[in-house]
Amino acid sequence: MSGLLEGKSAIITGSSRGIGRAIAKSYAENGARLIIHGTKEEALCELKSELNALGAECEYVAGDIGSPDTAARLAEKCLERYKSIDILVNNAGINSRKSFEELSFEDWDNMLRTNLTSAFYTCKAVLPSMLEQGSGVIINMSSSAGKTAHPNAAISYGVSKAGINSLTQKLAYDYAAKGIRVNAICPGPIETDMSKQWTEEYREKVYSSIPMHRLGTGADVANVAVFLASDMAAFICGESVNVNGGKYMN
């Protein structure tokens, strides 16, 4: 197997479904050696088999991404199996559509812990190895909701993704000279299990708000994740790349 990520070792959080699964498959097709993560071991076993069938080396770690122990186990597994950590994709996250009045203190804490604090934990876990080898790529999954108010996203979600964008920029600024590139991806409306439940009326409303008049796919996001992790993006650092068909431009 050969590709843009040939021989690179990559950790991908939240990889058992959706965008994370699409990224894992694209990384496998491009030659990466993978550590995948999710909360359900059965789903991870299934994905591991699919990735092995593509010719990729793969191991998995199941656990709560909001725990520093899970982050440590991901880094340890990658180093144990592949002797290096070349790429980290912080994809795991949750969403909410609750109004500000409906949000409980627990809702707020859970969103920040899962979407933002987890990325802090995983970055802390992989940075020592990346610094020692003098190279590495970190890709954080953000959202256009982290850049502008979104009518269908809870304020806690937007705040968590704005935090991801800030984390991305600060890490990029601090570690670029040490050979570590950090960028974020900001997807717009993506075809997922949730979008399949939309009414036709709502779907048309979403379509009409996107200049390209279609929803994005997991592959659309995965293609950007492959590019940013590859040497083709060697001079891209500290960016939060929009992938939304033109729905939000900045």
Nearest to 122, CA basis, from 142, 95, 144, 140:
140
Write down the catalytic residue from 82, 121, 157, 175. Answer: 157
Q: How far apart are the C-alpha atoms of 233 and 111, rounded to whole Å? A: 31
Q: Are 144 and 247 in contact (CB under 8 A)?
A: yes
Using CB atoms within 10 Å of the CB of residue 135, give its burial: 0 to 12 exposed, 13 to 18 middle, 19+ buried. Answer: middle
Does the annotation mark 157 as catalytic?
yes
Nearest to 183, CA basis, from 168, 193, 194:
168
Q: DSSP assignment of 181-245, as one string?
A: EEEEEEE-SB--TTGGGS-HHHHHHHHHHSTT-S-B-HHHHHHHHHHHHSGGGTT--S-EEEEST
Q: How far apart are the C-alpha atoms of 187 and 185, rounded to whole Å? A: 6
Which uninterrupted H or E stretch holds 12? Answer: strand 9-12
Q: How far apart are the C-alpha atoms of 170 and 142, rounded to whole Å? A: 15
Annotated catalytic residues are 157
